[in-house]
Structure 1
């Protein structure tokens, strides 16, 4: 609740964000505050017996928005705040959405609200209605991300993942649509077994779209999933898909690829002539190989401030170089230790050309900063430097899509940023507990990535001149 003109107003009950430890802590804190009567100015409707307490404890709660009747939508408990005076708690006016991004379609917004309302029930298994479709949900209390004391973040469950995907669906789906998908599944949480899955061989609902693509390695065709709608996104979350990695090309012709074929399956020649062989981006994968000193022998570098700050410095150098070629790049956090810099391009050049450009730019940047940047494949030769992997520009290679969660402590997400924001950013600033609130304020920083395309051919001609 919150105080309003001397009266305590009811805001919501909170059922998510607790694990055994936090439940015990909250109970211990509230047991000594019990009272017999309701402290609210108006007694709220209850869905079970209530134990009333004095309004002397402050809880920090994340939520999507206020409902019309003054309740919190999709609240998640974060922590108790003994540093905040209970009498100072007021209802703040919500931040106005930035005009930087288009508002979500009202029909989609209503659908998301209906899903979030369904996820508020306390059942650990039920059938979720998504428009005309139904998705059986199970094990909703299963912990996917354990509590993180350093971030003061409670354990996050499958229910929290589903809630996150529903909230960000208007923003993540445009980046997923029509792209062959690889899932990283962790059905028992990030501490247990995880596996990549490119091809779905089990039964699937009728709303899930697929595409058949020829494989040059095995001289056969394989079926990929496409995550082009909200039911598919939530169905994959139910299956334990925490990370979504996509191709850099789309199975969808458009104004920049009108004449490209849509035959992806009959032969290697057909695939190479198809629209799937023409990327939407030139990709620069900035991967710090600067160790914290805490890693186990043979392990990859873990997230550390020195490494990420150096990665940001390289990203700004890269941006400056690309701008001299009249190219305007965009950037996002990887959600782990690195950064992804993309240059949106018209689909007139194939993956071989995109890879060649990425390599040329990377080598030029390495010559300018030889002590800081490497293109070496040998791990010992990468150590202490930023590795720029131009081989990400290959048909079939994937990177985690914008707004995808990562199976890492803290539940970080891959977050598109403005270049001004990058300077002060840290990967753990953006998590499934706060990303939706950020998007409400800023909109999608990459919203026009597929419409504000640039001519790579023209840029190369200018560079040569």
Structure 2
């Protein structure tokens, strides 16, 4: 099996690809995009396959000769991995790169324990394998599809023993995974060729498949058996779940004497007299393999240090069995560690098919969707895509005049989901909640941090308006759409921009909002708008809005800011109103419009 041969890319083609990016200043703090763990390889077309490197994820910043290498949690690698730093210093480029720093063992396989023990070049050869480029020469490339970003990356990676391109391989996922297993690699990565780069988000467009089960865990203490010569016997491990630190097991294998000594030096500053776990673990508990375990004493630790383990299985209550220590993860923060449960690859494939535009536009076919909720029970629980959703107060009337209930609305959303979902992908949501129906008091909810289930994906964003850090909900699948509907969101309010380019909208919208006007007048205003846009060679699309209004969408392709969009929309609105002064208005206040159609811009 060979790496996929490079496509010939001319300088003109690379320049053309660069111009598809967004002009921006040099970024200084990008959080890496994360992959979702799945249970088996994906064998669908349109995916790129790479080695899953067993090392430290690292973002490389090169600008005007200055170099900075940062871990996932923004820790500097400049001194620790100085050969990589020196190699980047020699690279005459202005770029932001994403990759993995590794050490290859004597078998030619990346070895995380060797990387942990690395102190100088005498300990092994360091390599920085690059698999993505996020910014180059004044252009933000994160809105480009992966295959185009890789084409740009391939054109600039130097011929170097330290900086290398992480190749993608021409094979099926199953073939590549089988080879990775035979070679003793940690696993493989599968990435959609069309995927955009979404910082600080665990996406389903990048997935990882591991050859052995692994889990990151937080160290909450260590034990020392009586009459042992070891510096400690086992580490007590836990995970934060629902803001509680829960015990998941002990690991007592995978340590050398030297490693134990180094670990103890790092753990001693974290010693405390208070057990950090929600429930004090029974670390002397006998098992069928050790009916009379040696008596151990425990030293509690503040739960701050992260490690990685391999294990054979995880019990139903979340405990690990037969774990082995792999190393500390000093590149990760305790608060970022989650229990990794592989999701079925079939769920991702089915989700991809459901969201494919051609599927959405075509007829659903003979096999129609059935009703989600029965007409009787007031509270019902349904499993949707592996997630249990509880629906309550189902008889509550949401539309009094039409006698339409919350149950009716949820059944509608269930039936319409395949048609709706493509328009929400990658778009943060502002929730407009009507808990008491269409005539009841409504409220907007933007920040959902800590208020939604863990499986709901969110987008972190710093609001310049109020200076706060918020997490906006993302609708990524049928389950998350129905969860939003269950909150009383009669209408769905996605941003006009995507999370990859949050400050740059996909489109500008001209909103024709009639008051006492006829629909023929609304149509005439739309035609005038189109004529004005056609005259300046600007593409536009018209769609209905509500019962009598029209929206005119002007594609911007995330090339301009919201302020640019606002000013452009204002100019178009003024031109339209000037041609139809008898029955249109651009006045913000309803009273000042005099019953005329309002031309708004969004």
Larger Rg: 2
TM (normalized to structure 2)? 0.38
| Bigger share in strand | 2
Larger RCO (CA under 8 A, 6+ residues apart): 1
TM (normalized to structure 1)? 0.49
